[in-house]
Amino acid sequence: MKRIKIKKLFVYFLFLMVVNLLGVVSLNALAEEEQNNENNTTVDLAPNSKSAILIDLNTGKVLYEKNSHEQLYPASMTKIMSMHLILEEIEKGNMTWDEVITVSDHAASLGGSQIWLEPNEKMTVEDLFKSVAIASANDSVVALGERVAGSEEMFVKMMNERVKELGLKDTNFMNPHGLTDEDHYSSAYDMSMMARDLLKDHEETVTQYTSLYEDYIREDTDDKFWLVNTNKLVKYYEGIDGLKTGFTPEALYCLTATKRVGNMRLIAVVMGAETSQKRNADIVNLIKYGFSQYEVVDYVDKGVVMDQYENMMMKPNNVDVVTKEPISFLVKKGTEIKDLEQDIEYTIPKNGAKAGDTIGKITIYKDGDPYEVELTVTEDIEKAGIFQLFGRMFKNVIYGE
């Protein structure tokens, strides 16, 4: 009897160990599943698309991705890069919005999306750009590219040079419009970075056009032309104000879309959807996910004193330095930001500085990533005179100051 009891106790003890072990395994599996869900590795937010990505404009942080480096045909999303180079020429003063361009035979011969330009037709830069941003006009983007670089080939060279400057590895352009060429390709990741580059430099200008659902060119003429946005989400989904659609039979349906809420702007890209409806559904999923899961948290406001700059060779010899811009972070909603490590570097002004001038930067580290903001002085500083320097040296010797 005693031996039987011992055997029963042993079996019971073994049973408890197995149950406990299974419980630990289950908890570990659950924790792993939750971690995967948080990193979006098990949830397909863009089930209708071959590849997709969601990023934050300010930081470039990737919030979701799916096959984001797969090289695919970008179709007319190509024009994101084209529009950027065109806007740069205008910003530099090399071209004006009201300048009139004479359309070449080559530009007028383009197929696909177009506004039916005629050879030798004259049109303003603004109307040509508007037709690119709204109606994705291939003939217009070539006319503008020829004006910027002298020829379509040279403009494409500029596009590829910018791709290299951005450090993008999945892209090669053969034209400024996106009509299919086997050597013309990009990826969701690269397109998101090109869109980010465009919006960082020209957000207000480009969205002024890409947010329009309809407009007109050739007004007050017999050839008045109605432009309708190829991106229907600018009308049917609140807040989306760009950026560029794409479609060819080879590329299928593509879209780079963007939306701003307060100080947070997201960029979503999908490529290779079978229909425009499926493409739009995936974009909406990505945008909804981003704004429901993430938020921008202010860490330091603009104009906050971060340090006191001291320089015995200057007058005054110490002055407050403040942040030139606010310091904000994109975080998962509900995340608490505690004290973060920071470094301050100064650029010593040789001849002094005026109030508001940048004399250094502060670098704040969050999760190992550096975030830099310029620091400015709050008052004028100038070289100290010989008598002031002598007086300071005397004080230092006598009083140890």
Residue 394: pLDDT band with limits 50, 70, 90: low
**Residue 175 pLDDT > 90:** yes
| C-alpha torsion sign, points 286, 291, 294, 300 | positive
Q: Count CA atoms closer than 13 A to 297's CA, side-chain side.
A: 14
Please identify every residue annotated as catalytic: 76, 79, 136
Out of 1-15, 63-77, 229-243, 245-259, least confident range: 1-15
Q: Which CATH number fits domain 51-297: 1.10.3720.10, 3.60.15.10, 3.30.420.10, 3.40.710.10?
A: 3.40.710.10
**Residue 11 pLDDT > 70:** no
Query: Full-prediction pTM beyond 0.75?
Result: yes
**Residue 7 pLDDT > 50:** no
So what's the pLDDT on residue 67?
98
Nearest residue to 132 (alpha-carbon basis) of 170, 85, 168 = 85
Residue 42: pLDDT band with limits 50, 70, 90: low
Instruction: Look at the domain 301-399 and name its fold.
Output: Peptidoglycan synthesis regulatory factor (PBP3), Domain 2 (2.60.410)
Written as six digits, the tokens of 143 are 């006319």
Q: What percent of the chain has pLDDT over 70?
A: 84
**DSSP labels, 89-137:** HHHHTSS-TT-EEEPPHHHHT--SS---PPTT-EEEHHHHHHHHHHH--
**Residue 20 pLDDT > 50:** no
**Residue 400 pLDDT > 80:** no
**Mean pLDDT, residues 376-395:** 66
Residue 332: pLDDT band with limits 50, 70, 90: very high
Structure-model confidence comparison of residues 381 and 224, the more confident one: 224
So what's the pLDDT on residue 19?
35
Q: Count CA atoms closer than 13 A to 110's CA, side-chain side.
A: 26
The average confidence (pLDDT) of the chain is: 87
Q: How far is CA 72 from CA 49, 133, 249, 393, in A?
A: 12, 22, 12, 68
Q: Which of 26-30, 108-112, 158-162, 358-362 shows the highest mean pLDDT?
A: 158-162
Residue 4: pLDDT band with limits 50, 70, 90: very low
So what's the pLDDT on residue 326?
87
Structure-model confidence comparison of residues 187 and 4, the more confident one: 187
**Residue 6 pLDDT > 80:** no
Structure-model confidence comparison of residues 222 and 282, the more confident one: 282
So what's the pLDDT on residue 315?
65
Length of the chain equals: 401
50 annotated as a binding-site residue: no
Structure-model confidence comparison of residues 71 and 391, the more confident one: 71
Which residues touch 159 (CB under 8 Å, ≥6 apart)?
81, 82, 85, 173, 176
**Residue 368 pLDDT > 90:** no
Residue 8: pLDDT band with limits 50, 70, 90: very low
Q: How many CB atoms lie within 10 A of CB 13?
A: 10
Query: What are the sequence ranges of the domains in the chain?
Result: 51-297, 301-399
Written as six digits, the tokens of 34 are 């939750």
**Mean pLDDT, residues 236-244:** 98
